[in-house]
Every structure is written in C-alpha cells, then in structure tokens.
Amino acid sequence: MDDDRKEMANRLFATLTAMLEDAAAVAAAGQSSRANASSLRTQARRLQSSIAEAHVLTNAIAIILADEKLSKRSK
C-alpha cells in the first residue's frame, strides 16, 4: 500500500474511533433510568446519525483498500 493511501486509511480509522466513542457515550446516556421518552428519542436519532456517518467512513476505507487490491492485480 502506498504511503498516501495508508495515511488516509489511518486517518479515517482515527476519525471513526472518535465517532464511535461519542456514540458509545450517547448509548450509555440512554440507559439512564432518569431519561424521559423525548430525551431517549433524541438520543436514538443521534445514534442513527452516528451510525450512518460511521457507515460512510467504513465504505471510504473499503474503497481505499479495494483500489489498492485492484492495483496489485494489474501488476
């Protein structure tokens, strides 16, 4: 893998890690027995958004790595 692709994949993984840590905090807050229905709905929407964003990043990582795989096959 060339250095630019590796660096990009590493940065995307770092971003993904931060996003998932934030999502875990939201999920933990949703476990509170003090949370009302409105708060839980808001937290659920935040999680849905985080999951969608994480999906985009994992797709980007897969594309970066797939391109590398294809370039190896053509050599």
pLDDT, tens digit (0-9, with 9 covering 90-100), for 7-55 = 999 999 999 999 999 999 999 999 999 999 999 999 999 999 999 999 9
Distance between CA atoms of residues 35 and 54, nearest Å: 25
Say whether pLDDT at 73 is over 90.
no
Q: Domain segments of the chain: what residues?
A: 3-73
- The model's pTM: 0.79
Distance between CA atoms of residues 67 and 41, nearest Å: 39
